């Protein structure tokens, strides 16, 4: 069995249960004002599950006759990192929107980050369609670099905003929001490793180097691909799914407390009228 085929099989095995659960918890969390994060978590797990199947299929035929499938696989693999960053940004925007509703700068930064994520997505898809075309290697590398540097700018900005809350604003935010921030910072190093793998890939594995570089996700070292790309992604998505679970649990508890408080206040008013 080829190393990349084993990686593809592992992806399918690990992502079948987590994809099903991500769709379930994402739909449950949808009503609690965290739709961006929910949607991106759901999309990422579907992309990775599809990516595993594509890797298994492509490894059976890596010839030029299968160029279309190879391009699709590269696009799916490279796009996987985008929903993770968008989910991070979605969780962070939720914290800022509910904890600092009157601050306009974080909202503006969030809008800029969303535009950069869309730009990065378009550039990565366009570059992916040039896979295998050595005459377009320079253009492909430029598109990949621009896309990943836009991604990197959003990632660093999100981490800085997270650190601001964790270090300087912890007394101004609710405990639930502080928990979200701490878990986002826990996920940040793993997201950073995945970003580093992508950056190394665009510098070392584009054009003709795609077939020889160890940083090529499809033709390179399968162990490096697994431990620098797929394992960090899996850790991050598990953290994000836990955040969705925490959000659902917290919102349901708050709803229950508000309901009980309303019943209690209603009972007191009734007793007051009786005394009159």
Return the DSSP state at 169: S
Which domain does 62 fall in, by range? 3-252
The answer to whether the beta carbons of residues 37 and 236 sit under 8 Å apart is: no
| Domain-located, residue 265 | no
264 domain residue, yes or no: no
For 152-163, write each residue's pLDDT tens digit: 999 999 999 999
pTM: 0.88
Position 274 in a domain = no
| pLDDT number for residue 261 | 63
On whether residue 139 sits in a domain, the answer given is yes
Selection from 78, 97, 79 nearest residue 36 by Cα: 97
* Total count of domains within the chain: 1
Quick one: pLDDT at residue 11? 94
Q: How far is residue 116's CA from residue 122's CA, in Å, rounded to a whole number? A: 10
Residue 13 domain flag? yes
Task: Please give the backbone phi and psi of residue 59, each rounded to the nearest 5 degrees, phi first.
Answer: -60, -20
**C-alpha to C-alpha distance for 128 and 47, rounded to whole angstroms:** 15
CB atoms within 10 A of CB 130: 21
> Would residue 262 count as lying in a domain?
no
Q: In whole angstroms, what separates CA 241 from the centre of its chain?
A: 10
Return the pLDDT at 12.
95
Looking at the domain assignment, is residue 273 inside a domain? no
The CATH number given to whatever domain includes residue 23 is 1.20.1070.10
Residue ranges of the chain with pLDDT lower than 50?
263-276
In a domain, 259, yes or no: no
Tell me how far apart the alpha carbons of residues 184 and 239 are, in angstroms, rounded to a whole number. Answer: 8
């Amino acid at each position: 069995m080829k190393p990349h085929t084993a990686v593809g099989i592992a992806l399918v095995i690990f992502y079948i249960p987590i994809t099903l659960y991500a769709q379930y918890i994402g739909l449950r969390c949808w009503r609690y004002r965290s739709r961006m994060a929910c949607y991106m978590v759901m999309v990422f797990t579907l992309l990775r599950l599809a990516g595993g199947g594509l890797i298994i299929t492509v490894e059976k035929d890596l010839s030029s006759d299968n160029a279309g499938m190879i391009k699709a696989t590269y696009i799916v693999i490279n796009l996987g990192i985008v929903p993770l960053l968008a989910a991070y940004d979605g969780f962070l925007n939720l914290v800022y929107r509910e904890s600092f509703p009157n601050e306009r700068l974080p909202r503006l930064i969030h809008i800029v980050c969303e535009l950069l994520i869309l730009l990065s997505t378009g550039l990565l898809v366009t570059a992916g369609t040039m896979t295998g075309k050595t005459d377009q290697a320079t253009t492909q590398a430029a598109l990949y670099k621009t896309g990943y540097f836009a991604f990197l700018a959003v990632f660093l900005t999100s981490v800085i905003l997270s650190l601001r809350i964790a270090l300087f604003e912890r007394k101004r935010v609710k405990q639930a929001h502080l928990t979200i921030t701490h878990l986002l910072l826990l996920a940040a190093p793993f997201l950073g490793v995945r970003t580093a793998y992508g950056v190394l890939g665009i510098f070392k594995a584009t054009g003709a180097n795609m077939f020889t570089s160890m940083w090529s996700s499809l033709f390179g070292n399968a162990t490096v691909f697994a431990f620098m790309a797929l394992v960090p992604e899996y850790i991050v998505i598990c953290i994000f799914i836990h955040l969705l679970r925490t959000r659902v649990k917290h919102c349901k508890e708050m709803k229950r407390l508000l309901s009980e408080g309303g019943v209690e206040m209603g009972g007191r008013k009734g007793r007051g009228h009786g005394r009159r």
